[in-house]
């Protein structure tokens, strides 16, 4: 039961999962401003995190996340309840990031995201920063079809079937793609690691 053990009103704050999301979606479709705000609050952070990993640039990720949430609200009538809502949202985020990649080809930027633990020692900060940098570079070098399945599976914790539905691919293809993506990512990461230690 997890958070049920806490009891009282605190448990309601700690465990938003039991809330019927479909009720909020229906209310949002009917123009309820509070329901629309609730959907934004629930999904904005995971969408931003996903966009940041896809684009590796804070500004672009913020723009893409904002654009995604606008599209989500504008296209709520297209959502099918046989999909998990978050999977549908990530599908929109993915397409928005693909569009952003195309735009970036015209204006190449190398803005980096800082991902270090502020409480660590200076040595650990440097070490973590270098590892995060190599991982980011390795992810950037992956073919887009490999990068997106890794992000959806490992970072956003979508299931194989959800990824298959989102990308309109057979389940076996998704599993094979994730396996190949991991292998390729490890190879690229090790090459970067060897280069950094040379």
Q: How far apart are CA 21 and CA 34, in angstroms?
A: 13
Nearest Cα neighbor of 153 from 176, 187, 133, 132 is 176
Q: 96, 67 in Cβ contact below 8 A?
A: yes
**Region(s) of the chain under CATH 1.10.10.10:** 117-198
Give the architecture (CATH level 2) of 117-198. Orthogonal Bundle (1.10)
Q: How far apart are CA 188 and CA 180, in angstroms?
A: 12
Q: 138, 132 in Cβ contact below 8 A?
A: no
pLDDT along the chain (198 residues), means of 10: 41 46 92 93 93 86 93 92 88 89 62 41 49 75 86 85 86 92 88 66
The residue with tokens 């465990």 is: 15
Q: Model pTM greater than 0.85?
A: no
C-beta neighbour count of 67 within 10 angstroms:
18
Provide the token pair at 56. Answer: 């590796």
**Region(s) of the chain under CATH 1.10.1740.10:** 1-113
Looking at the domain 1-113, which fold is it? Rna Polymerase Sigma Factor; Chain: A (1.10.1740)
């Amino acid at each position: 039961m997890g958070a049920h053990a806490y009891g009282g009103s605190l448990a309601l704050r700690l465990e938003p999962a039991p809330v019927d999301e479909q009720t909020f979606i229906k209310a949002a479709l009917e123009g309820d401003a509070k329901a629309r705000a609730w959907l934004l609050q629930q999904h904005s952070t995971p969408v931003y995190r996903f966009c940041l990993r896809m684009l590796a640039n804070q500004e672009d990720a913020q723009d893409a996340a904002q654009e995604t949430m606008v599209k989500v609200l504008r296209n709520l009538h297209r959502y099918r309840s046989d999909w998990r809502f978050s999977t549908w949202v990530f599908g929109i985020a993915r397409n928005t990031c693909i569009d952003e990649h195309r735009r970036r080809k015209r204006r190449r930027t190398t803005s980096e995201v800082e991902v270090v633990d502020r409480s660590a020692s200076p040595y650990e900060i440097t070490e973590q920063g270098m590892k995060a940098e190599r991982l980011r570079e390795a992810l950037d070098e992956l073919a887009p079809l490999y990068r997106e399945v890794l992000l959806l599976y490992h970072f956003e914790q979508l299931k194989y079937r959800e990824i298959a539905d989102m990308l309109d691919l057979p389940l076996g293809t998704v599993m094979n793609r994730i396996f190949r993506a991991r292998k390729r990512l490890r190879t690229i990461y090790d090459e970067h690691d060897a280069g950094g230690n040379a």
